[in-house]
Amino acid sequence: MQRAPTPPLTPAAPHIYESTPLLRRQNSLTPSAYSRHRLQPWRWLVLLALSLLSFLNAAMWITFAPCLYIFSHYYFGDLVAGTNAIHSLSVVYMVVYPIFIYHSFQYFVDPRDKPVGTGLRRGVMIGAVLNTFGAGLRYLGAVPSFTGFAVLFVGQTVAALAQVFIIGVPPRLAVAWFEADEINFATAIAVTANGLGAAAGFGLTPLMVKEATAEKDIPNTLLLQVLLYYFVCCVFIMILVWIGFRYDPKVRVRVEPAADDKTALTAISVWRNWSFLLMMSACGIITGAQAALTTLLTQILMPPFQFPDETPVGWLGFYMLLAGVPSSMFAGWFLDRTFLYQATCRWLYLFTTVSLFVFEFAVERENYVVILLSSLVFGICSFAIIPAILQYAGELYYPLSEVVTAGWLINACNIGGMALVFGMGWAEDLSQRFTMREAVRGLIIVMVLGTWQMWLVNGELKRGKMEAEMADEAEVNEAETDGEVDPDGSGGIVTLSFEGYTISSDNAIS
C-alpha cells in the first residue's frame, strides 16, 4: 500500500547552527544513508587536476612583482613610469575577474539531461585552455620594447581570464565529489594550491632573474614557464580533467530552482542579503590585503632596508605565502570535524589584523626578524581563512551553487586587491625613508573594519540542515519499505523542496 506523501519541509524543522548537537556527530552531518556510497578513488585525480591548474595560474599572476625594478628597467628603462606598468601585470587579474565572473556562471551549470559534474568539467577545461594560450603569448612578449610589453600584457590578460574559470571552483568541486567529512579538507587543498603557486612565483623569479643579466634571464624565465604550461597544463591537466570528470560523482545531489517559487536565492538576489554583503566586504578586505602586501612588498621594504638586490624580499614573500599551506590544510581538517565556521573565521581574521600591526611596528624599527615572524603569522592566518570563508558561505546561502557564492566572494577579493594596491601605491611618500608608512597604516585601518564586519556575519548552516533532512527522509523510506530495493520504481531517489529549490539525491547503495 502506497503511503501518503508527506510535506518535504515542515515549518517545525529545527534550525542548525554551530552549537546544534547534530554537528557534533562523528565524521559527517548526515547519517548512514549518505555514507553508504562507495566514493571513487579518482575524485582525488579531479582534485589534483584543479589544484595544479590553480597553482600554475597563480604563479603567472605574481611572476613580475618580486623583481619589480628589474622588469621596469628591462622593458622601459625608466623606473618611475615602468613600475606602474609592471604593477598592471598583477592588477589585470583583479580587473578582469569582476567583468567576466557573472557571465562565467552559466558554463558551470549542469544541463538537465546531463550528469552532475558536467558543468564543472566544461568550466575547468575552458580555464585550462585559456591558461595555456596566455602562457604562450607571454613568451612572445619577452622582447625588451614597448611592443614586447604590449604582447606580454595581452598574454597576462588571457591568463587572468582563465582565472575566472579556476579560482572559484574548489568549494563546488568538493561538495559534488566528496563526502561531508572531506568537503573542507578538499576545498583547502585546492585553495592552498593557488597560494602555493603564488609562493613559487615569488620565490623562483628572484632566483632566475638578476639585474646584471636581465636581458638573458627574462626570456629564459618566460620560456621555462611556457614550456611548463604547455606540457603540464595543456596535456597532463587536461587528461586528468577528462579522466576524472568522465564519470558521475557518486555523491549525487542535483539542485534546481523550483519553477513556481520566486523567493529562491539567485546569483543576483543574494546581493540583497545583508549578511552576505558583510561577508563579501570582509573577504574582499583580507584577500585584498594579501594581494596588496605581496604586490607592494618590494616598495615597502627596499627603501628602508637598502638591500643590495631584491632577493631577500622575494624570499620573504615566498615564506609568507608558503606558511599558509599547512594552516589552510589544518583549517579544512578542523572544520570537517567541528563545523565551527563562524568562530574560525572570526579569530583568524583578528590574528591577521594584529600581525599587520606588528609588521608596521617592525618596519618602523627596521627589525627584519620581527618582520619575518609577523609576515609568517599574516600568511598563516590570512590564507587559512579563505577556504573557511568559501565553505562558510556555501553553508549559509545553500542551495545557491557554491560556484556562485565563491565567485562573488572572490570578485570582492579582486576589487579589494585592486583598490588597496592602487590606494597604497598612490599613498607612497618618496620623501621619507619608510616611503609606504601611511599606506601600511591605512591598510591596518581597513583591516580593523574588515574584522568588525566578519564579527557580524551569522546565520543558519542550511546545507547541513538539508543533508540531515534528506538522510532522515531516506531512512523513513527504507523503514517503510521493510528494506525492499526500489519497490515503487522511483530508482531510490529522494526529493525535497528546500528554500525555493528542488533537491534530489540517489541514495541507492552502490
Beta bridge partners of 257: 501
Which pLDDT score is estimated for 492? 54
Report the phi/psi class of residue 400: left, alpha or beta, with left for phi > 0 and alpha for psi in -120 to 50.
Answer: beta
Mean pLDDT by 10 residues, the chain (510 residues): 44 48 40 46 83 88 79 76 81 87 85 72 88 85 85 93 91 81 88 83 76 73 66 69 67 54 64 90 92 82 75 80 86 88 93 93 87 91 90 83 86 86 80 81 93 90 69 60 50 54 49
Quickly count helices (H) and strands (E) in the chain. Answer: 18, 3
Cell output for 386? 579563505
On average, the pLDDT of the chain sits at 77
Question: Of 399, 419, 131, 140, which Cα lies nearest the Cα of 287?
Answer: 419
Distance CA 459, CA 113 (A): 34
Question: Of 395, 258, 311, which Cα lies nearest the Cα of 68?
Answer: 311
Which pLDDT score is estimated for 156? 93
Cell output for 492? 531510490
Distance CA 90, CA 440 (A): 19
Q: Which CATH number fits domain 32-465: 2.40.33.10, 1.20.1560.10, 2.60.120.590, 1.20.1250.20?
A: 1.20.1250.20
Could you tell me if 294 and 356 are in contact, meaning their C-beta atoms sit under 8 angstroms apart? no
Q: How far is CA 263 from each of CA 258, 260, 266, 279, rounded to the nearest angstrom?
A: 10, 9, 9, 21
Which residues lie below 8 Å from residue 366, measured CB to CB, with a gap of 6+?
A: 304, 305
Distance CA 47, CA 35 (A): 20
Which pLDDT score is estimated for 397? 84
Distance CA 6, CA 395 (A): 26
Could you tell me if 354 and 373 are in contact, meaning their C-beta atoms sit under 8 angstroms apart? no
Backbone angles phi, psi at 256, to 5 degrees: -135, 140
Distance CA 471, CA 467 (A): 6
Whether the ω angle into residue 31 lies within 30 degrees of 0, i.e. cis, is no
pLDDT tens for residues 476-506?
665 555 555 445 444 456 565 555 555 556 5
Which residues lie below 8 Å from residue 12, measured CB to CB, with a gap of 6+?
A: none
Distance CA 510, CA 223 (A): 48
Distance CA 395, CA 397 (A): 6
Sign of the Cα torsion 309, 139, 104, 388 reads negative
Which residues lie below 8 Å from residue 202, measured CB to CB, with a gap of 6+?
A: 62, 65, 66, 294, 314, 317, 318, 321
Backbone angles phi, psi at 308, to 5 degrees: -65, -30
Distance CA 266, CA 418 (A): 26
Cell output for 314? 622575494
Report the phi/psi class of residue 201: left, alpha or beta, with left for phi > 0 and alpha for psi in -120 to 50.
Answer: alpha
Distance CA 332, CA 326 (A): 10
CA of residue 102 relative to chain centroid, distance:
16
Which pLDDT score is estimated for 354? 95
Which residues lie below 8 Å from residue 138, measured CB to CB, with a gap of 6+?
A: 60, 152, 155, 156, 159, 222, 225, 226
For residue 497, the SS3 value is strand
CA of residue 217 relative to chain centroid, distance:
31
Cell output for 417? 586587491
pLDDT tens for residues 105-149?
888 887 777 766 678 888 888 998 898 888 888 888 878 888 888
The order of strands in the sheet holding 501-506 is 253-257, 501-506, 493-498
Which pLDDT score is estimated for 505? 63
Report the phi/psi class of residue 483: left, alpha or beta, with left for phi > 0 and alpha for psi in -120 to 50.
Answer: left
Cell output for 248? 558521475
Distance CA 482, CA 438 (A): 71
Domain spans, the chain: 32-465
